[in-house]
Amino acid sequence: MATRRNAAVRGAAAGLLAALLALAGCAAPEPPAGPARGEIQGLLDRHARAMLDRDEAGYLAALDPALVPAARTEFDRLAKVPLDDWGYRVTGVDRTGEGRATARAELGYRIKGYDSGPATTERVLDLAERNGRWYVTGDRAAEGAPQQLWQQGEVTAVTGRRSLVLGVGQSGERLREIATAADRAVPAVGDAWHGSWAGRIVVLVPSSIEAMGRLLGGPAASYRGIAAVTTGHTGGGPTAPADRVIVNPDAYNVLGEFGRQLVLTHETTHVATRVQTTKATPVWLSEGFADWVAYRGTERTAAQAAPELRRAVLAGDLPAELPDDAAFAFGGDAEALARAYEGGWLACELIADRWGEEKLTAFYRAVGAHPGRDGAVEKALREVLDTTPEQFTADWRTYLGERLG
C-alpha cells in the first residue's frame, strides 16, 4: 500500500508541476515540424519511378541542387544495368530540426531476367524543406551497409547465355572471359543439383580487393587470397534477396583456367542451393558440397584437390572431427582455412562414393529443412544415410587416410 500511495503522491505532484509550468509559460517546446513517413515514402516512390522510366529530370527533381551532379553521374552509370525494379521502403524518420529530417530506408532493386527477389541495402537520407517542398539533401549507406558497384565507377556490362557480368575498372575482354566461365558453371551445377533456381547468375567484378571489401561492407584484408564470394540470405525462400557473385580481381587473375572455372562453379552452387541452405546447415556441408560440385567430372585427384589436408594426414595429424563453422572464417590462417574446405569436400565425396549422388543431395536438403542447427545433421544422417554422427566421423577419418595417405 505504501508503494501505491507514494506513486500516487508523486503522480499528483508531477501533474501540479506541469500545470504550474504551463501557466508560467514554461511548457515543453513542440517538436520541430517535419514530413510524415508517408510524405517521404511518396517522394522516394516518385524518385524510384523516374529511375525505372529513365526520366532524368524526374529523378533529379527530388534532390537538392547540391546533389544533382553526383546523382546525374549515378543515373548515367545505372543505364548499363538492366533494372526490372527499383524502390525504397522507409523504415524510420527522425525530425532533426526546423524543416529538417533524416529517414532510414531499404533500397531494393531487381535485375531483369536474373532476380526473383530484390538485392537490398540500407540507406540514410537527409531531407530539408524549402518553400513548402521537401528535398533529399544527403544520401549515404547506413552504418555497416555495403557500397554498390555503380558508386565505384563507370559500369561495363557483358551478357552471357546464362550470366550477367558487371565490372568497374575491368577490360571488356576480361569480363567476357568471366561470362564464358559462368556460362559453363550454370549447366554443370544444374546437372548435379536438381533444384528450383533461376539458372542464371549475376557476377560483380570490382577494380581491386579494396573495392571488393567496400561491396561487402567489410575490410579488404578479410578477403585476401579469396578469389570470389557469394552474397545472399540463407533459407529465405524463392523471393529472398538476390545473390551476387563478387570476384576478387587480385586473387582471381592469378589463377589458371581450371582454377577460375572451379571458383565460378563453386560460387554458382551457392546460388543454386541458397533456398535449401538454412541456419541448420553447417558450413562444412555448404562449402563441401559446393566444392564437390565444382570438382565433379574433373580429373583432379584427392591429393591434387586437398594438398593441405594431405600434408597433415601424411604428418600423422589426422583431424579428430569435421571442421566447425569457425574454421571457415576469412582473414585467419590460410592453411587452416584450406584444410577446412578440403575436409568438407571429402565428407561430401564420402557420401557420394558410398551412398550415391542422389543421397548426397537428399542429405543436403534434409539438413536444411530442419528447424534449427541442433539435431539437424544427426537426424539427416539417421534418416537419409542410416548412420550416426560417431560412425560417420569415423568413416570420414578412415576415408581421409585412404584418399590422402
CATH of the domain at 94: 3.10.450.50
pLDDT tier, 68 (very low <50, low <70, confident <90, very high otherwise): very high
Residue 262 lies inside a defined structural domain of this protein: yes
Domain end point (choices 249, 272, 295):
272
Residue 25 lies inside a defined structural domain of this protein: no
Residue 4 lies inside a defined structural domain of this protein: no
This prediction has a pTM of 0.87
pLDDT of 116 reads 84
3-state percent breakdown (helix, strand, coil) of the chain, nearest 5: 50, 20, 30
**Shared domain check, 364 and 287:** yes
- β-pairing, 201-205 vs 163-168, is parallel
272-289 burial, b for 16+ CB within 10 Å, e for fewer? Answer: bbbbbbbebbbbbbbbbb
User: First CA to last CA across the chain, in angstroms?
Assistant: 79
Element (H, E) at 174: helix 172-192
Q: What are phi and psi of 386, to 5 degrees?
A: 55, 50
Whole-number percent of the chain with pLDDT over 70: 89
What tens digit of pLDDT does each residue of 285-323 get? 999 999 999 999 998 999 999 999 999 999 999 999 999
pLDDT tier, 18 (very low <50, low <70, confident <90, very high otherwise): very low
What tens digit of pLDDT does each residue of 354-400 get? 999 999 999 999 999 999 999 999 999 999 999 999 999 999 999 99
Domain end point (choices 206, 241, 272):
272
**Shared domain check, 268 and 243:** yes
Taking the C-alpha atoms of residue 352 and residue 338, their distance in angstroms, rounded to an integer, is 21
CB 233 within 8 A of CB 145: no
**Shared domain check, 233 and 199:** yes
Cα dist. 402→177, 394, 395, 405 in Å? 38, 12, 10, 6
* Residue 53 neighbours by CB distance under 10 Å: 10
* Longest distance between any two alpha carbons in the chain, whole Å: 90
Average pLDDT of the chain to the nearest whole number: 90
Sheet containing 201-205: order of strands: 155-159, 163-168, 201-205, 244-247, 228-231
Residue 21 lies inside a defined structural domain of this protein: no
**Shared domain check, 266 and 159:** yes
Residues 249-267: what's their mean pLDDT?
97
In three-state secondary structure terms, 161 is coil
* Residue 232 neighbours by CB distance under 10 Å: 18
Domain that holds residue 183: 148-272
Q: Which among 338, 329, 344, 191 has a CA at the least distance from the CA of 272?
A: 191
Taking the C-alpha atoms of residue 401 and residue 316, their distance in angstroms, rounded to an integer, is 10
User: What are 189's three cell numbers?
Assistant: 551445377
**Shared domain check, 264 and 215:** yes
Residue 28 lies inside a defined structural domain of this protein: no
Taking the C-alpha atoms of residue 172 and residue 170, their distance in angstroms, rounded to an integer, is 7
**Shared domain check, 324 and 210:** no
For cell 565444382, the residue is 294
Burial of residue 210, with CB atoms counted within 10 A of its CB: 0-12 exposed, 13-18 middle, 19 or more buried:
middle
Strands (E) located in 232-310: 244-247
* Residue 245 neighbours by CB distance under 10 Å: 26
- Number of structural domains found in the chain: 3
Q: Which among 351, 340, 339 has a CA at the least distance from the CA of 377?
A: 351
What tens digit of pLDDT does each residue of 50-65 get? 999 999 999 999 999 9
**Shared domain check, 260 and 181:** yes
pLDDT of 276 reads 94
pLDDT of 240 reads 62
Q: What are phi and psi of 376, to 5 degrees?
A: -65, -50
CB 245 within 8 A of CB 204: yes
Residue type, 8: A
The residues, ordered by sequence, that sit 6+ positions from 317 with a Cβ below 8 Å of its Cβ are none
Residue 95 lies inside a defined structural domain of this protein: yes
CB 243 within 8 A of CB 231: yes
**Shared domain check, 156 and 140:** no
What tens digit of pLDDT does each residue of 190-244 get? 999 998 888 999 999 999 999 999 999 989 988 988 999 999 776 555 556 679 9
CB 81 within 8 A of CB 113: no
pLDDT of 108 reads 95
Which pairs count as long-range contacts for 351-356, CB under 8 Å and 24+ apart, including other chains? 351/385, 352/292, 353/399, 354/395, 355/385
Domain end point (choices 248, 272, 296):
272
The residues, ordered by sequence, that sit 6+ positions from 311 with a Cβ below 8 Å of its Cβ are none
Cα dist. 59→42, 68, 73, 110, 173 in Å? 13, 10, 12, 18, 33
Residue 241 C-alpha from the chain's centroid: 8
**Shared domain check, 186 and 90:** no
**Shared domain check, 400 and 284:** yes
Give yes or no for residue 49 having a pLDDT over 50.
yes
